[in-house]
Amino acid sequence: MNISPFKASIAQIAEQIQPFHVMKILGEAKALEAAGKKIIHMEIGEPDFPSLPCVHEAAMHAAALGLTHYTPTMGLPALRDKLSHFYQHFYSADVAADNIMITPGSSSALHLVLTAILNPGDKVLLSDPAYPCNRQFVKLLQGKIIGIPVGCETQYQLNSELLKTHWQPGIKAVMVASPANPTGTIIEQAELLSMANFLAEKNCYFIVDEIYQGLIYERPAESILAHKNLPNNVIVINSFSKYFGMTGWRLGWCIAPDALMPVLERLGQNLFLAASTPSQYGALRVLETDALDNLELRRQMFEARRNTLYHSMRDAGFRLKVLPQGAFYLYWDISDFTDNADQFCFDLLRDTGVAITPGRDFGDYQANQHVRLAYTTTEAELVLAVQKMAQFIKDINPSK
Ligand SMILES: Cc1ncc(COP(=O)(O)O)c(C=O)c1O
């Protein structure tokens, strides 16, 4: 019997933090799998490939040499230098190593950057739908979220017209991702520049999440930092998680203007001291040419999967409003079949074993009519998943 008088209490702000609903789907999928049901996993946003063997070897080698102590808070100097060269080669962008900070995943980079710039009450403008955690970070910092509904007319992305239309005093930062989660769509380089310029005039930061850059199809990878005449309100977020296939290594980075680097360093010293040392040695290795060649092969596989999934779904008569240009997501309008995406996802999972994510995780706008599919499984499984979804829809809605 518990006789302690202690009553657990939770901070008001922490109470307001939303769960990641996809984890519920994942939990259910795992439980069904454990009970012997075959599951096709298209719910979780991470590459199905393991990280490259050369990364494992480099990290283990570093650990065997005793390189297991803290690195400087800003990251291993060699890794910051190497990333600076990577920007030059990969994106034709001049990025000084001094402006790069290595972080435990880009999640930390996002948290750190917002902590560095937001005062309570400051507004942050985001698209709806968008990557869910950003809204929670802003809440934690007592900022105010302005969600702008975006649809297929703008490729589910913000643009400078929308910024002008929705502009209001008190906006401290605008956040975008290109390619985006959950839609896989991008913002063109010229548009990014005009957004950055508009926001600089308004004295507003522009946070551009490029975590899915590299995973881009039918066009070269691009960074906003390739613009030579970029205003200094731009902050870029990136990670070793997606393109580099290193989700579990928890390593990311941000690139920020000079004025922010000292405060980012102070915050990093307090919030995490440094990113994982073996991971940083692994990351040094993944930036070598032979590893990048392997990642290019993986990118081609993702492109083939995107094409297979997109065309199989179109052939099945499903309504896909845009062809995603990057990442590994496809955003599907299911309003022909339901107005309850959560129920649809759970029923689909239980009936067919196909696990996908309801729109609710990504915002409010038409969230109940959309789902996200991650093509992080083989082409054969993707084709099978589409067959199962088509049958499921016929069963629940014989007129379709
Ligand atoms: C758009 C976007 N940004 C940031 C993250 C965070 O990734 P990580 O912390 O693994 O770098 C994710 C993860 O899914 C994402 O989709």
Pairing of strands 354-355, 357-358: unpaired
Q: What separation in Å is there between the alpha carbon of 130 and the centre of ligand 1?
A: 11
Judge contact between 147 and 365, C-beta under 8 A: yes
Q: Does pLDDT of 45 surpass 70?
A: yes
Pairing of strands 144-149, 123-128: parallel
Q: What is the pLDDT of residues 213-258, one digit of tens each?
A: 999 999 999 999 999 999 999 999 999 999 999 999 999 999 999 9
Judge contact between 357 and 331, C-beta under 8 A: no
Judge contact between 334 and 357, C-beta under 8 A: no
How many alpha carbons fall within 13 Å on the CB side of residue 335? Answer: 8
Helical axes 379-396 vs 341-352, angle rounded to 10°:
110
Q: What is the pLDDT at residue 276?
A: 98
Task: Tell me the C-alpha distance between 361 and 130, whole Å.
Answer: 9
- Domain 17-45+291-396 superfamily per CATH: Aspartate Aminotransferase, domain 1 (3.90.1150.10)
- Which of the listed residues 22, 107, 254 should we mutate to test ligand 1's pocket, taking the one with most ligand atoms within 8 A of CB? 107
Quote the Cα angle for 74-76-79, to 5°. 110
Q: What is the pLDDT of residues 279-325, one digit of tens each?
A: 999 999 999 999 999 999 999 999 999 999 999 999 999 989 999 99
- Closest-CA residue, ligand 1 atom 16, reads 181
Q: Is the dihedral of CA 344, 145, 19, 36 positive or negative?
A: positive
Judge contact between 359 and 182, C-beta under 8 A: yes
Of all residues in the chain, the percent with pLDDT exceeding 90 is 94
- Is the Cβ atom of 211 under 6 angstroms away from ligand 1? yes
- For 89, 104, 244, the CA distances from 248, given in Å and listed in that order, are 26, 10, 11
Q: What is the pLDDT at residue 11?
A: 94
Among the atoms of ligand 1, which is closest to the Cα of residue 106? 11
Task: Tell me the C-alpha distance between 254 and 210, whole Å.
Answer: 10
- Is the Cβ atom of 84 under 6 angstroms away from ligand 1? no
Quote the Cα angle for 352-355-360, to 5°. 125
Domain ranges of the chain: 17-45+291-396, 53-287
Q: What is the pLDDT of residues 339-372, one digit of tens each?
A: 999 999 999 999 999 999 999 999 999 999 999 9
- Which of the listed residues 103, 135, 211 should we mutate to test ligand 1's pocket, taking the one with most ligand atoms within 8 A of CB? 211
- For 89, 241, 333, the CA distances from 43, given in Å and listed in that order, are 33, 16, 16
Judge contact between 285 and 54, C-beta under 8 A: yes
Q: What is the pLDDT of residues 319-346, one digit of tens each?
A: 899 999 999 999 999 999 999 999 999 9
Task: Tell me the C-alpha distance between 140 and 126, whole Å.
Answer: 16
- Closest-CA residue, ligand 1 atom 6, reads 107
Q: What separation in Å is there between the alpha carbon of 296 and the centre of ligand 1?
A: 20
Mean pLDDT of the chain: 96
Residue 257 CB coordination number (10 Å): 14
Q: What is the pLDDT of residues 179-216, one digit of tens each?
A: 999 999 999 999 999 999 999 999 999 999 999 999 99
DSSP 267-296: HHHHHTSS--HHHHHHHHHHTSHHHHHHHH
Q: Which whole number is the average pLDDT over 66-83?
A: 98
Q: What is the pLDDT at residue 102?
A: 98
Reference 169, options 138, 126, 123; nearest CA is: 123
One-letter amino acid at 390 equals A
Q: What is the pLDDT at residue 342?
A: 94
- Distance from the first to the final alpha carbon of the chain: 57
Q: What is the pLDDT at residue 259?
A: 97
Task: Tell me the C-alpha distance between 221 and 17, whole Å.
Answer: 34
CATH assignment of 53-287, among 3.40.640.10, 3.40.50.20, 1.10.20.140, 3.90.420.10: 3.40.640.10
Q: What separation in Å is there between the alpha carbon of 268 and the centre of ligand 1?
A: 18
Q: What is the pLDDT of residues 16-42, one digit of tens each?
A: 998 888 888 999 999 999 999 999 999
> What backbone torsions phi and psi does residue 181 show, to the nearest 5 degrees?
-105, 120
- Is the Cβ atom of 46 under 6 angstroms away from ligand 1? no
Q: Does pLDDT of 399 surpass 80?
A: no
- Is the Cβ atom of 327 under 6 angstroms away from ligand 1? no
Q: Which whole number is the average pLDDT over 139-144?
A: 97
Q: What separation in Å is there between the alpha carbon of 106 and the centre of ligand 1?
A: 6
- Is the Cβ atom of 184 under 6 angstroms away from ligand 1? no
Q: What separation in Å is there between the alpha carbon of 391 and the centre of ligand 1?
A: 33
Q: What separation in Å is there between the alpha carbon of 76 and the centre of ligand 1?
A: 22
Reference 133, options 179, 167, 166, 181; nearest CA is: 181
Among the atoms of ligand 1, which is closest to the Cα of residue 46? 14
Q: How many residues does the chain have?
A: 400
DSSP state of 246: -
Among the atoms of ligand 1, which is closest to the Cα of residue 239? 11
- Is the Cβ atom of 112 under 6 angstroms away from ligand 1? no
Q: What is the pLDDT at residue 400?
A: 63
Cis before 220 (ω within 30)? no
Stretch (H or E) spanning 302: helix 289-315
Q: What separation in Å is there between the alpha carbon of 299 and the centre of ligand 1?
A: 18
- Is the Cβ atom of 252 under 6 angstroms away from ligand 1? yes
DSSP state of 216: B
- Is the Cβ atom of 261 under 6 angstroms away from ligand 1? no
Q: What separation in Å is there between the alpha carbon of 107 and the centre of ligand 1?
A: 6
Q: What is the pLDDT at residue 20?
A: 84
- Is the Cβ atom of 279 under 6 angstroms away from ligand 1? no
2 — pLDDT class (breaks 50, 70, 90): low
- Is the Cβ atom of 105 under 6 angstroms away from ligand 1? yes
1 — pLDDT class (breaks 50, 70, 90): low
- Is the Cβ atom of 239 under 6 angstroms away from ligand 1? yes
Question: b or e along 212-249 (b: 16 or more beta carbons within 10 Å of the residue's beta carbon)?
Answer: bbbbbbeeebbbbbbbeebeebbbbbbbbbbbbbbbeb
Reference 234, options 259, 252, 257; nearest CA is: 257
Among the atoms of ligand 1, which is closest to the Cα of residue 45? 14
Among the atoms of ligand 1, which is closest to the Cα of residue 252? 11
